[in-house]
Amino acid sequence: MQRRDSHDVQDWLFKRGRRDRVINWLGLDSKIDSTLAETWAAVRDYWNAGNSFFARFKITGWKRLANEAASEALSMGAGGFVVMFALAIPAFNEFNEGKFLTGQFAVKFLDQNGNEIGKRGILHNDAVPLDEIPDSVIKAALATEDRRFFEHWGIDVFGTARALATNLQANEVVQGGSSITQQVAKNLFLSSERSLQRKIKEAFLALLLESRFTKREILKFYFDRAYMGGGAFGVEAASQYYFGKSVRQVNLAEAALLAGLFKAPTKYAPHVNLPASRARTNEVLNNLVEAGFYTSGQVHWARVHPAKTIESRNPNSPDWFLDWAFEEVQRIAAGRGQYVLTARTTVDLNMQKATDEALTTALRNYRGNRVTSGAIALMEIDGAVRALTGGPDYGESQFNRATHARRQPGSSFKIYVYATALENGYTPTTQVRDASRSCGRWHPQNYGGSHGGGGRMPLWNALARSLNTVAAELSFAVGRDKVIEMTRRVGITGIRKTCSMALGDYGISPLEHAGGIATFANGGKLAKPYAILDLVSSKGDLVYSRDRDEPEAPQVVERKVAEQLNWMMNKVVTEGTGQRAQLDFTNVAGKTGTSTGPKDVWFVGFTGKYVGTVWLGNDDNRPMAGGTTGGVYAAPVWHSFMSVVHTDMNIPNIPGLQPHPVQVAEQQRVAAMRPEGAAAGGEAQRTTSSLMSDQTREALRKVAQALRKAGGIAEPPPTTAPGSTGSTPTAPAPTAPSNKRADGTAPGTEPRRTTLGVAQPPLDGTPARAVP
Mean pLDDT of 186-207: 67
Are residues 478 and 421 in contact, defined by beta-carbon separation less than 8 angstroms?
yes
Instruction: Work out whether strand 589-594 and strand 340-345 pair parallel, antiparallel, or are unpaired.
Output: unpaired
| pLDDT above 50: residue 472 | yes
Q: How confident is the model at residue 684 (pLDDT cuts 50, 70, 90)?
A: very low
Instruction: Work out whether strand 385-389 and strand 431-433 pair parallel, antiparallel, or are unpaired.
Output: unpaired
Q: Report which of residues 674 and 772 the model is more confident about.
A: 674
Q: Report which of residues 710 and 228 the model is more confident about.
A: 228
CA 422 to chain centre: 34
Instruction: Give the contacts of 469 (CB within 8 A, at least 6 positions apart).
Output: 434, 435, 436, 444, 445, 446, 451, 452
Q: Sign (positive/negative) of CA torsion 48, 54, 60, 62?
A: negative
Q: How confident is the model at residue 699 (pLDDT cuts 50, 70, 90)?
A: low
Q: Report which of residues 399 and 170 the model is more confident about.
A: 399
What pLDDT, on a 0 to 100 scale, did the predictor assign at position 8? 54
What pLDDT, on a 0 to 100 scale, did the predictor assign at position 145? 83
Q: Report which of residues 274 and 615 the model is more confident about.
A: 615
**Cα–Cα dist 620/599, whole Å:** 10
| pLDDT above 50: residue 690 | no
Axis crossing angle, helix 349-365 with helix 635-645, rounded to the nearest 10: 150
pLDDT, the chain, mean: 81
List of long-range contacts for 278-285, beta carbons under 8 Å, 24+ apart = 278/306, 281/253, 281/256, 281/257, 281/306, 281/307, 282/256, 283/144, 284/140, 284/143, 284/144, 284/256, 284/257, 284/259, 284/260, 285/252, 285/256
Instruction: Work out whether strand 431-433 and strand 456-458 pair parallel, antiparallel, or are unpaired.
Output: antiparallel
Q: Report which of residues 91 and 208 the model is more confident about.
A: 208
| pLDDT above 60: residue 421 | yes
Residue 344 — φ and ψ, nearest 5°?
-95, 130
Q: Report which of residues 220 and 718 the model is more confident about.
A: 220
Please give the DSSP secondary-structure letter assigned to residue 557.
Answer: S
What pLDDT, on a 0 to 100 scale, did the predictor assign at position 355? 97
Q: Which of 84-88, 124-128, 624-628 has the lowest mean pLDDT?
A: 124-128
| pLDDT above 70: residue 662 | yes
Return the amino acid letter for 508: I
Q: How confident is the model at residue 525 (pLDDT cuts 50, 70, 90)?
A: very high
What pLDDT, on a 0 to 100 scale, did the predictor assign at position 750? 39
**Cα–Cα dist 632/463, whole Å:** 17
Q: Count of CB atoms within 10 A of residue 489's CB?
A: 18
Q: Count of CB atoms within 10 A of residue 197's CB?
A: 12
| pLDDT above 60: residue 522 | yes
CA 633 to chain centre: 28
What pLDDT, on a 0 to 100 scale, did the predictor assign at position 500? 94
Are residues 593 and 504 in contact, defined by beta-carbon separation less than 8 angstroms?
yes
Give this prediction's pTM: 0.62
Q: What percent of the chain has pLDDT above 90?
A: 46
Q: Count of CB atoms within 10 A of residue 736's CB?
A: 7
| pLDDT above 70: residue 170 | no
Q: What is the DSSP string of 253-309?
A: HHHHHHHHTTT-HHHH-TTT-HHHHHHHHHHHHHHHHHTTSS-HHHHHHHHHS----
State the number of CA atoms in the 13 A half-sphere of 454 facing the CB: 0
Please give the DSSP secondary-structure letter assigned to residue 244.
Answer: S
Mean pLDDT of 444-459: 88
Question: pLDDT of 130-148, one tens digit each?
Answer: 888 999 999 998 988 888 7
Q: Report which of residues 445 and 27 the model is more confident about.
A: 445
Residue 457 — φ and ψ, nearest 5°?
-160, 160
Instruction: List the strands of the sheet with 116-121, edge to edge.
Output: 116-121, 106-110, 340-345, 532-537, 542-545
Q: Which of 448-457, 719-728, 758-767 has the lowest mean pLDDT?
A: 758-767
| pLDDT above 50: residue 81 | yes
Return the amino acid letter for 543: V
Q: Report which of residues 700 and 680 the model is more confident about.
A: 700
Instruction: Identify the three-state secondary structure at position 726.
Output: coil
What pLDDT, on a 0 to 100 scale, did the predictor assign at position 280? 92
Question: pLDDT of 618-636, one tens digit each?
Answer: 999 999 999 999 999 999 9
Provide the β-strand partners of residue 342: 108, 536
| pLDDT above 50: residue 193 | yes
| pLDDT above 90: residue 405 | yes
Q: Report which of residues 174 and 166 the model is more confident about.
A: 166
**Cα–Cα dist 629/319, whole Å:** 29
Q: SS3 letters for 458-497?
A: EHHHHHHHCCHHHHHHHHHHHCHHHHHHHHHHCCCCCCCC
- Reduced to 3 DSSP states, what percent helix, strand and coil does the chain have, rounded to the nearest 5? 50, 10, 40
| pLDDT above 80: residue 600 | yes
Question: pLDDT of 312-326, one tens digit each?
Answer: 666 678 989 999 999
Are residues 105 and 330 in contact, defined by beta-carbon separation less than 8 angstroms?
yes
Question: CA angle, 308 as apex, 307 and 314 as ends, to 5°?
Answer: 140
Instruction: Identify the three-state secondary structure at position 380.
Output: strand
What pLDDT, on a 0 to 100 scale, did the predictor assign at position 565? 98
Return the amino acid letter for 546: R
